Amino acid sequence: MFTARMIKLFAVVLDHDADKVTEELLREGVMQFINITEIEHEWQGRLNDVSPQVSLAKIAMIRKRIEGFLTPLGIYPKTPGEIDLENRRPVDLEEENKNLDRIADELQEIRKRQRTIQQEILKLEGLSRQIEMYGPGLTETVVSSRYSFITIRVGKVHKDNYQRLTDEMKDIPSVLLTIHKEEDAHHLFLIFMKRDTERAQKILDRAGWAEAELSRKLISLKPDITLNLDEKIKQLQEEQESLRRKAKESMGLHSRDLNRMWVQLRVNELFYKVQSYFKRSSRTMIFSGWLPASKQSSLAEKIIHAASGRCFLEWHEPEKDTALEVKEKNAPVKFRNPEFLAPFQMLVTNFGVPEYGTVDPTPFVMFSYLMMFGLMFADVGQGAVLALAGLFGMFFFKGKKEAWQNISKLIVWCGFSSMVTGALFGSYFGMAWCKPLWFDFHGIISSHPNKQSYINDIFDILSIAIYFGIGIIGFGLLFNWINLFIKRRWIDLVLDKGGVLGAWIYFGGIYIARYMIMYEYRQLPGSGVIFWLVGLPALLLYAKGPFNFVHKRKKGTGKEFTLMTPLNFGMEWIVELLEVFAGYLSNTLSFMRVAGLGIAHVSLMLSFFELARMAQGQGAAFNLWSLLILITGNILVIGLEGLTAGVQALRLNYYEFFTKFFRGSGEVYLPVSLKSRD
């Protein structure tokens, strides 16, 4: 429920022990370094930067270049391990670049030929589309149309020039067919793109081309033309595939060396990244950073061992950091959630990172998000489809971006939530295959409720959503009290709209509203009850202004008391009351959308069932059209309603729950380790 307790290390080691200490820091991988310049001290000006032996930017650039070779083959370099750190050796970036240049040269000719072939394929496909466009009247239409993109020529060349013409025309996308052969000449039919007219004319001139008039008999040549084009395209595609296999085989021979090179570069990059946070004096190295308090003894032992005891370690709690004044007091936030909560932690961090030491709402978000989604999208069959889609996504995105993995896992969780609530409401692809475990949602919406259930109409469903919203808001207020207690903000804990007085007014108002409903809106509670439930806390809320004024004056940050000060207190009090009454009311009523979307989900399914019934016709029991309507309806509902339910559940968590307590001013804990990402 709370983030991990953090502690800050300030360390000094001897210069000649710095490399060993760096390796241990990287091996442990638990420290998020801070710049020593953030620490204000008199010795600050006597420290120098530690320049890495090689440029971190150049290392990263070469790594990316290696990834450019490996990724097209489906090879993704693995993160380095401890053995790679032990075998670390300095890298010669110039030599590594030369090795990559040699590999690139091997592939250059293949890549160049691949590009050329691809361009030819695209041109021939364009030529084929132009020919197909004119249909049977190919020659007449093309010749008469000034908007055509192709040129058709008929002529003859001497038999000795035929082979030369054929070879040279291969350089441009074209079709060359022999119409008739004479003893000393070939009569030819030629098609090429108009944009290649200049090149084609030069080739024809060199071959001694003699032009002839187009004949109507040439119309019958169209099938031969398209067949010739298809054969050419197929040959080029086969050559393209052959070149692709050749490139893959060539890279396969280098993949092991490239992998090894990538790992060495990454280890050195991380090593020098750690040392980039060091500061140097004449004989010592100084560094500082945050780590979980649970790792303190382990890291201290490793540093002392690496430095042979020649080191100075000083530890500081975030709230007790008085020996060194740091410009940014907040420690980084490390979540302590188990792996299965990763999708819901993603939802929390997308909104913001909780302030260090405050409540981490991730476990509760799992409950609230899934409950809201399930109530809005309750169906066993459709939930099973969602779960299967999520499982497919987990398999498809395995080893890729973590965000896509988490989204896939979230879809699986939502699918199971829908299956649970679907069983409670007795919905299986919109049909009542089994008796509902709670109440018949479809029966109520279709005006056929089960009278034996205590949920009999839409108003009962809306009341469930309202009570659910009251519970969520109540937990938000509770978490806010916990945060304020931890931060020792006593005035806000009591005299604030999110404190005790705000909750007093809220739950007092709920009691009054329930009382009115019980008496069919004809009677209010007694005036004394209303005063104690709402009036008294509303009056006490005025005290927030004076208390804050006195508190700031004691700290020396407050303003002088004037005649306008009480008036300012009054204006602030009125605004606070408006926010309490209007804000909490709108927050609570906003949860009616949970019931609203649940009703819309059921209504859509009922609509598709009615369409399917109409498609069956009179007396028909079943036909293909009704089946297609039901399948299409379920697909649309799963896609549209599933997305809508997911978005609305997220919105209710963010704006009705998080806003009650969440202070997203934290910084995510990102230690430098062998598993660090870019």
Please check whether residues 348 and 287 belong to one and the same domain. Answer: no
Structural domain includes residue 180: yes
3 state DSSP class of 337: coil
pLDDT for res 375: 93
Structural domain includes residue 468: no
Q: What is the per-residue pLDDT across 362-399, written as a single tens digit (0 to 9) for each?
A: 999 999 999 999 999 999 999 999 999 999 988 888 76
- Residue 30, classified by CB atoms within 10 Å of its CB into exposed (0-12), middle (13-18) or buried (19+), is buried
Rounded to 5 degrees, φ, ψ at 243 are -65, -35
Please check whether residues 611 and 579 belong to one and the same domain. Answer: no
Structural domain includes residue 667: no
Q: Which two tokens stand for residue 80?
A: 């380095």
Structural domain includes residue 476: no
Determine the average pLDDT of the residues in 310-337. Answer: 71
Please check whether residues 343 and 404 belong to one and the same domain. Answer: yes
Instruction: Return the top range by mean pLDDT from 174-183, 622-631, 640-649.
Output: 640-649
Amino acid 239 reads: E
Please check whether residues 601 and 585 belong to one and the same domain. Answer: no
Please check whether residues 360 and 428 belong to one and the same domain. Answer: yes
Please check whether residues 645 and 576 belong to one and the same domain. Answer: no
Q: What is the DSSP string of 648-677?
A: HHHHHIIIIIGGGT------B-----TT--
Please check whether residues 502 and 579 belong to one and the same domain. Answer: yes
Determine the average pLDDT of the residues in 315-343. Answer: 72
Write the DSSP symbol of residue 434.
S
Q: What is the CATH number of the domain that holds 43?
A: 3.30.70.120
Asked if residues 379 and 430 have their Cβ atoms less than 8 Å apart, the reply is yes
Please check whether residues 352 and 426 belong to one and the same domain. Answer: yes
**Residue 231 scores a pLDDT above 90:** no
Asked if residues 172 and 196 have their Cβ atoms less than 8 Å apart, the reply is yes
Please check whether residues 379 and 444 belong to one and the same domain. Answer: yes
C-alpha pair distances (Å), 543 with each of 175, 501, 540: 92, 11, 6
Q: What is the per-residue pLDDT across 77-108, written as a single tens digit (0 to 9) for each?
A: 888 888 888 888 888 888 888 888 888 877 77
How far is the C-alpha of 167 from the C-alpha of 176, rounded, in Å?
Answer: 11
Last residue of a domain, one of 209, 237, 265: 237
Asked if residues 368 and 472 have their Cβ atoms less than 8 Å apart, the reply is yes
Structural domain includes residue 676: no
- Residue 614, classified by CB atoms within 10 Å of its CB into exposed (0-12), middle (13-18) or buried (19+), is exposed
Determine how many CB atoms are found less than 10 A away from the CB of residue 99: 17
Confidence of residue 224 (pLDDT cuts 50, 70, 90): low
Please check whether residues 123 and 232 belong to one and the same domain. Answer: yes
Please check whether residues 548 and 605 belong to one and the same domain. Answer: no
Structural domain includes residue 560: yes
Q: What is the per-residue pLDDT across 403-429, written as a single tens digit (0 to 9) for each?
A: 888 999 999 999 999 999 999 998 999
Structural domain includes residue 33: yes
What total number of domains does the chain contain? 4
Determine the average pLDDT of the residues in 146-169. Answer: 79
Please check whether residues 614 and 635 belong to one and the same domain. Answer: yes
Q: What is the per-residue pLDDT across 523-534, written as a single tens digit (0 to 9) for each?
A: 888 888 899 988
Q: What is the per-residue pLDDT across 9-60, written as a single tens digit (0 to 9) for each?
A: 999 999 889 989 999 999 998 999 988 765 555 555 567 777 777 788 888 8
Q: What is the CATH number of the domain that holds 143?
A: 3.30.70.2750
Q: What is the per-residue pLDDT across 422-466, written as a single tens digit (0 to 9) for each?
A: 999 989 998 888 888 888 888 888 777 666 567 888 888 899 999
**Residue 326 scores a pLDDT above 60:** no
Domain residue limits at 627? 335-455+595-660
Structural domain includes residue 260: no
How far is the C-alpha of 310 from the C-alpha of 314, rounded, in Å?
Answer: 14
